[in-house]
Amino acid sequence: MAILIDDIEKVVPFKIEFVSYLNTARDIRYLKALETFTTSSNPVFIVDLGLKEYDNLAVRFSSDDISEKEIRLYMDCFDFIDEIEDDVTLGIENAGFITQNKEVFIHRHFDNDVGSPLIPGVYKIKVVSGESVYYSQILINPNNLEIDEHYQMIKEIESNVKGLARDWVRKNKSLEILKDCRDIDPTYLDYAYLILKNKDLLKYSMDIVKKNPYTSLIKNYSEIPFSKSGKLDSKSMKLNQLRHSAALYNRYVSSNEKIYSYKMDEDYANKVNQYLVKTIEDFLFILRKSLIDISDIKKFFKNEIDELNRYNRYKTLGRESRINNREQQLLNIIEFENNIIEFQNNLQHFKNTTFLKNVKQINNVRVSQQFIKTPGYNNFYRVALLVNGQLQNQIEDLYDYNWKSTEVLYEYWCMIKIVKCLKELEFTPVKGWFFDNSNEHKKVTIPAIPDGTSIVFQNDNYSLKLIFNEAIGKSPEVALRDGCPYWIRTERNKPDFRIDVYKDGVFQKTIILDAKYSSAERFWNKKHINTANKSKVVEQLKLYANNIYNIRNRRENVVEVVIALCPTYIKAYETFDNDENHSIGVATLKPGIENMIFKEKLEEFLYR
């Protein structure tokens, strides 16, 4: 029975159950009830029901309340749910909810019908029943990692390549997924969102500044008739002495004689306005950079949508929902892009059509107390502080996004770990991927590692070419056209990673690595490697090991070894195993451990 921790004697008027089905016939694998709730909008507990990211999972919401009032269940992930039928309703605020006595899939995972996986983390739940509101939180666990290892993997990806772990805007408008992101640095996109989040305040401030600009009084000296002369000071006296040889002091000077005098004029070219121009230019720079990032992200999503459509022959509900999910996110990206362009134009217009157009930008100008305290200017100062990270501002406050699926994260993380391993073996990256960019890439969003991405490493007379997810030509002619020294004889021709080894500029061999976000126990058993009982993964490894040949010699197999990388121990904390006779192996790569055996074996395979 569900309890309310605020009042254990009160029974909640509804039931929430998570149901996992074995098959499309809806044979139940497990059914788990959520039984802990609070009236506080910030629950101090997290309920772990043992739910996993790839479970074929539905949420069932029921109530025995016989009154006519509608009871609503809100949950993180409802806005981008796998089901594309009418089970989920969008409310006034575009918040997804279901009503009592409904059931809806939150992840569909049948054999040939797989939707977008759940993202490991804390999911918040909210139930509205009349005037009463109840809250709870559940944990979705990774399949093959601990939740802490999952976060460490994200942290390591983002610390090396900003934006690579993020799945852009998988926005949960009903409630926010709680994420501990304090160690993850923002990108230009995060800063751009922060500026847009404050755009109404900045527009209001622009109006104030236009109506009441900050001015200084300066003395402007000019020659005017003596009879109309105004104030004189020491400077004007000196100018007149030089000009008239002290004729000013002659009592008979003509009233039409011109002398130097001064008047007080308002001046906009002061430090306050100079700092405002600098702040506006900083904002415009961030918005321009974010638009470049958005262009890359749009390409990434369009390519992914094209690929999903290409393999959607059977039009399964899971596949259709994934396409719908990505198309919606692409629309969100385009909307964000349009908002950036619009506000960029607002700032540019304000700078170019007001008194600011005559104020020169000075990069080393310092902020003054007048800038901090003057109405209108002070709001620019506050937003600038946020952008510069001088106010407490965690990354989750900057932008609503989620992480990529763990399967994709693991593949990207393995790429980073391979690069790190090769560097530790004293191979220096000399070109390729983000190593070609300047230090400015630290704030640039890199949404994905494109297929065919490569990095060249150098160590004395050895050079390596690490290639990510690129198809190998299926004939010597195609491989030669692609500039590849080998070709493949099988249909499966796209391993995750290849390390091509060159000595004195001459190709020697290749090492194949394949990331498998799976338990090693599910596919690795040396007893079955050469039998009909071998797993599909081992079969794939053997195909790579036995069917890649030199384009110059069709009898020369160029594969040194094929290794599956997985996030679990092989058995009893073993981190490496291989079969020399078949040139295949398996290695444990997981956050929190350093696999020294794998590194030693990799060095051996590179040089032997």
pLDDT confidence of residue 180: 45
Listing DSSP states for 399-442 in one string gives ----BPPHHHHHHHHHHHHHHHHHHHTTPEEEEEGGGGS-GGGG
Structure tokens, 296 = 């890359």
Q: Which of 25-34, 215-224, 533-542 has the highest mean pLDDT?
A: 533-542
**CA 499 distance to own-chain centroid:** 28
Q: C-alpha distances in angstroms, 537 versus 160, 486, 526, 549, 586?
A: 30, 23, 13, 21, 11
Q: How confident is the model at residue 181 (pLDDT cuts 50, 70, 90)?
A: very low
Structure tokens, 24 = 């499309």
Which helix (H) or strand (E) is 283 found in, with range?
helix 271-310
pLDDT confidence of residue 246: 47
Residue 53 has pLDDT above 50, yes or no: yes
Write down the residue that tokens 């993964």 correspond to.
Answer: 537
Q: How confident is the model at residue 35 (pLDDT cuts 50, 70, 90)?
A: very high
pLDDT confidence of residue 320: 78
- % of the chain exceeding 90 in pLDDT: 49
Q: How confident is the model at residue 436 (pLDDT cuts 50, 70, 90)?
A: low
pLDDT confidence of residue 179: 44
pLDDT confidence of residue 6: 77
Q: How confident is the model at residue 107 (pLDDT cuts 50, 70, 90)?
A: confident
pLDDT confidence of residue 397: 45
Q: How confident is the model at residue 263 (pLDDT cuts 50, 70, 90)?
A: low
Residue 117 has pLDDT above 50, yes or no: yes
Mean pLDDT in residue range 99-105 = 87
Q: How confident is the model at residue 157 (pLDDT cuts 50, 70, 90)?
A: very high
Structure tokens, 338 = 């349009």
Q: Which of 133-137, 168-172, 193-197, 365-369 has the highest mean pLDDT?
A: 133-137
Residue 84 has pLDDT above 90, yes or no: no
**N-to-C CA span, the chain:** 64
Lowest mean per-residue pLDDT among 121-125, 309-313, 602-606? 309-313
62-80 pLDDT, tens digit each:
987 767 678 889 887 776 5
pLDDT confidence of residue 87: 59
pLDDT confidence of residue 145: 95
pLDDT confidence of residue 395: 44
- Average pLDDT value for the chain: 84
Q: Are 82 and 108 in contact (CB under 8 A)?
A: yes
Q: Which of 35-49, 100-114, 326-340, 413-427 has the highest mean pLDDT?
A: 413-427
Residue 547 has pLDDT above 90, yes or no: yes
3-state helix, strand and coil shares in percent for the chain, rounded to the nearest 5:
35, 25, 40
Q: Which of 69-73, 183-187, 236-240 has the highest mean pLDDT?
A: 69-73
